[in-house]
Chain A
Amino acid sequence: MKLSRREMLAIGASAIAVAGGASAFAATDAIMGFTGGVEVSEGGITITAPEIAENGNTVPIGIEAPGAEAVAVYADGNPVPNVAVFTFGELSPSKSASTRVRLAKTQNVVAVAKMADGTYTMSQAAVKVTIGGCGG
Chain B
Amino acid sequence: MISRRDFLQVGMAAAAAYGGSGFGNWARLAAQQKLTQDELLQFDTFGNVSLIHVTDIHAQMKPIYFREPSVNLGVGGNKGAVPHLTGADFRRFYGINDGSPSHYALSSGDFAALAQGYGRVGGLDRVATVINAIRADRPDAILLDGGDTWHGSYTCYHSQGQDMVNVMNALKPDAMTLHWEFTLGSDRVHEIVESLGFPVLGQNIFDKEWDEQAAEMFPPYTFFERGGAKIAVIGQAFPYMPIANPRWMFPEYSFGLRQDHLAQMVEELRDAGADCVVLLSHNGFDVDKKMAAVVPGIDVILSGHTHDALPEPVLVAGTVILPSGSNGKFVTRCDLDIRDGGMMGYRTKLIPVFSDVIAPDAEVAALIADERDPHEAALREVIGRTDATLYRRGNFNGTWDDLICDALLSERDAEIALSPGVRWGPSMLPGQEITREDIWNVTSMTYPAAYRTEFTGAFLHLVLEDVADNIFNPDPFFQQGGDMVRTGGLGYAIDVTKPQGARISDMTLLGTGERIDPAKSYVVAGWASVNEGTKGPPIWDVVESHIKKQGTITAAPNNSVKVIT
Contacts and interface: CB of A to CB of B under 8 A. Distances in A.
A60 B208 CA distance: 9
A51 interface: yes
A33 interface: no
B255 A54 contact: yes
A136 to B, nearest CB: 3
Interface in B420-478: 420-424, 462-463, 466-467, 469-470, 477-478
Given A135-B481, A136-B422, A130 B242 contact: no
Interface string B136-165: 000000000000000000000000000000
A18 interface: yes
A132 interface: yes
Contacts of B238: 135
Nearest to B258: A50
A50 B420 CA distance: 24
Contacts of B242: 54-55
B348 interface: no
B244 interface: yes
A54 B243 contact: yes
B478 A135 contact: no
A128 B492 CA distance: 24
Contact of A133 (B260, B469, B529): B529
B257 interface: yes
A134 B244 contact: yes
Contacts of B48: none
A132 B256 contact: no
B462 A136 contact: no
Contacts of A55: 242, 247
Given A54-B242, A54-B243, A136-B307, A130 B256 contact: no
A131 interface: yes
B480 interface: yes
A13 interface: no
A134 B420 CA distance: 5
Contacts of A136: 244, 305-307, 421-424, 481-483
B463 A132 contact: no
B474 to A, nearest CB: 13
B257 A51 contact: yes
A130 B466 contact: yes
A63 B287 CA distance: 25
B500 A50 contact: no
Contacts of B500: 18, 106
Nearest to A56: B243
Interface string A47-81: 01011111100001000000000000000000000
B42 interface: no
A130 B257 contact: no
B247 A134 contact: no
Interface secondary structure of B, over-half rule: loop
Interface in A13-70: 18, 48, 50-55, 60
Contacts of B483: 134, 136
Contacts of B306: 136
Interface string B339-357: 0000000000000000000
Contacts of A54: 241-243, 247, 254-256
Given A54-B247, A136-B305, A128 B422 contact: no
Contacts of B470: 130, 132, 134
B178 interface: no
B245 A131 contact: no
B243 A51 contact: no
Interface string B246-272: 010000001111001000000000000
A60 B306 CA distance: 28
A131 B463 contact: yes
Contacts of B423: 136
Contact of A134 (B179, B255, B421): B421
B242 to A, nearest CB: 4
Contacts of B260: 48
B561 interface: no
Contacts of B530: 132-133
B529 A134 contact: no
A135 B482 contact: yes
A72 to B, nearest CB: 22
B214 interface: no
Which of B244, B307, B501: most chain A CB closer than 10 A?
B244
Given A51-B256, A52-B478, A132 B243 contact: yes
Interface string A104-135: 00100000000000000000000010111111
Nearest to B447: A133
B467 A135 contact: no
B481 A130 contact: no
Contacts of A18: 500-501
B240 interface: yes
B177 to A, nearest CB: 15
Contact of A52 (B243, B247, B462, B482): B243
Contacts of B241: 54, 135
A52 B467 CA distance: 13
A131 B463 CA distance: 7
B211 interface: yes
A51 B478 contact: yes
Contacts of B255: 54
Contacts of B134: none
Interface of B: 179, 211, 238, 240-245, 247, 254-257, 260, 305-307, 420-424, 462-463, 466-467, 469-470, 477-478, 480-483, 485, 500-501, 528-530
Given A54-B247, A135-B244, A136-B305, 9 more contacts: A18-B501, A52-B478, A130-B466, A130-B469, A133-B529, A135-B481, A136-B421, A136-B481, A136-B483
Interface of A: 18, 48, 50-55, 60, 98, 106, 128, 130-136
17 contacts: A50-B256, A52-B480, A54-B242, A54-B254, A55-B242, A130-B466, A131-B466, A131-B467, A132-B243, A132-B244, A133-B528, A133-B529, A133-B530, A134-B421, A135-B482, A136-B307, A136-B483
The 7 closest A-B pairs by CB, nearest first: A135-B244, A136-B482, A136-B423, A132-B243, A54-B242, A133-B530, A134-B420
